[in-house]
Structure 1
Amino acid sequence: MEARFLGIAELTRTPSVAVVVDVMRAFTVAAWAFGRGAEKIVLAESLTDALALKARHPDWVALKDGPPAPGFDAVNSPGLLRSLDLGGRTVVQKTTAGTVGALAVREASLVLCAGFVVAGATARLLRQRGCEAVTFVVTGEEGRAEEDLACAQYIARRTERGGPDATAFLRRAAGSRAAAELTEGVRQGAHPDDVRLCLELDRFPFAMVASSEDSLMVLRPYTVPSPSPADGTSA
């Protein structure tokens, strides 16, 4: 598989297959939302759009980066979200980087959103679909976020037979600027367990596929069967 690693601003054309990576914290949060029973996640263009969707659908759960704010039900923190019961609910998510990256490649034939918590399932789906060329969108820090790049490179390597050991990739993410800011309380709307939860490899058995539905970009879980022993540890 040919892999390219680009920041959002470096996307000069729409890729055929895109994996949008936001480890800390958008797509870790999205995975936890599905883990807590959410049916789908609508990726909002802006905070205004998120609030407008919430106003039209009062039963939807709206979340954003940063501290709590009027009109929003939750913040972009896996540690805080894991206590919510989202059974059958629709979540509206707007974040600084992750949702922006996904919307930037919305015209791609296949859009996956990923973090370490769904790395294995994401790699399995790429293999299952026979993807020959994949663009990994590194959303944080204008494409330089170490945690996102490490995760993207890990997923790319994991599509290969045999696969890599995750230790070095997780260590890079743990030493990232984002991890430090979360640990030191620089980022608002955080929980002390956020970094640990973001680095929990393969916590969930599904990949997350984004596609257009009624003019909205909608993220849904897609369960990918685990490999048989004959497949080794590659995915």
Structure 2
Amino acid sequence: MDSRFLGIPEIVDVPSVAVVVDVMRACTVAAWAFAQGAEKIVLAESLEDALALKGRHPDWVALKDGPPAPGFDAVNSPGLLRSVDLTGRTVVQKTTAGTVGALAVKEASLVLCAGFVVAEATARLLRTRECASVTFVVTGEDGRADEDLACAQYIAGRAVEAGTDADEFLRRAAASRAAAELTEGVREGAHPEDVALCLELDRFPFAMVAAPEDSLMVLRPCAVPAIPV
């Protein structure tokens, strides 16, 4: 499998297969939303679009980066979201990097969103689809966020070699700027356990696939069968 790792500004063509990685915290939050029962996640282009969608669908759950804000029901924190019952609900998500990255590659034939919590399922899906070329979108810090790059490199490794060990990749993520900012309380709308939750390897057994639905980019969980050893 040929892998390339690009920041959002570096995406100039439409990849065949894209894996959008935002470890801290959009993709981790998305996985937790599905674990809490959400049916789907609509990826909003802007805060205004998110609020407009919420206005048209009052039962949807609107979620954003940063502190709580009028019109939004939740913030982009796995530690805060894990206690919310989302059974059967639609979530509208707008974040600084993760949703932007997914929308940047929305025309790809396959778009996956990933973090460490769904790493193995994502790698397994790439293997079962026999993807020859994959673009990993490293969403944080214009492609320089080491937690996202480490996760992307780990998934790429697992997709071609099941024996790839996670320890060094997790250490890099734990030492990243984003982890430090979350730990030190620099980022608003955070929970003390957010970093630990973002670094839980393979917490969930599903991959997450984004695809256009009725002019919206919609993320859904995707069960991935285990590959016999």
TM-score (norm 1): 0.97
Matching residue of 2:164: 164
Distance 2:162 2:191 in 1: 35
Matching residue of 2:21: 21
Matching residue of 1:137: 137
Matching residue of 1:80: 80
CA deviations 1:40-59 (Å, max 9, x no partner) are 00000000000000000000
Matching residue of 1:202: 202
CA deviations 1:140-173 (Å, max 9, x no partner) are 0000000000000000000123331100000000
Matching residue of 1:233: none
**Identical aligned pairs, as a percentage?**
82
What's the offset of the Cα at 1:225? 1.5
What's the offset of the Cα at 1:118? 0.3
Corresponding residue SS for 2:160: coil
Aligned AA for 2:180? A
Corresponding residue SS for 1:37: coil
Matching residue of 1:116: 116
1:44 corresponds to 2:48: no
Deviates more, 1:49-58 or 1:154-163: 154-163
Distance 1:219 1:183 in 2: 28
Matching residue of 1:98: 98
Corresponding residue SS for 2:80: helix
Q: Show structure 2 runs of 5+ residues with no match.
A: none
Matching residue of 2:57: 57
CA deviations 1:110-161 (Å, max 9, x no partner) are 0000000000000000011110000000000000000000000000000123
Aligned AA for 1:13? D
Aligned AA for 2:191? H
What number of residue pairs does the alignment pair up?
229
Distance 1:166 1:96 in 2: 27
What's the offset of the Cα at 1:226? 2.1
Which 4+ stretches in 1 moved above 2 angstroms? none
Distance 2:46 2:113 in 1: 18
What's the offset of the Cα at 1:227? 2.5
Matching residue of 2:173: 173
Q: Show structure 1 runs of 5+ residues with no match.
A: 231-235
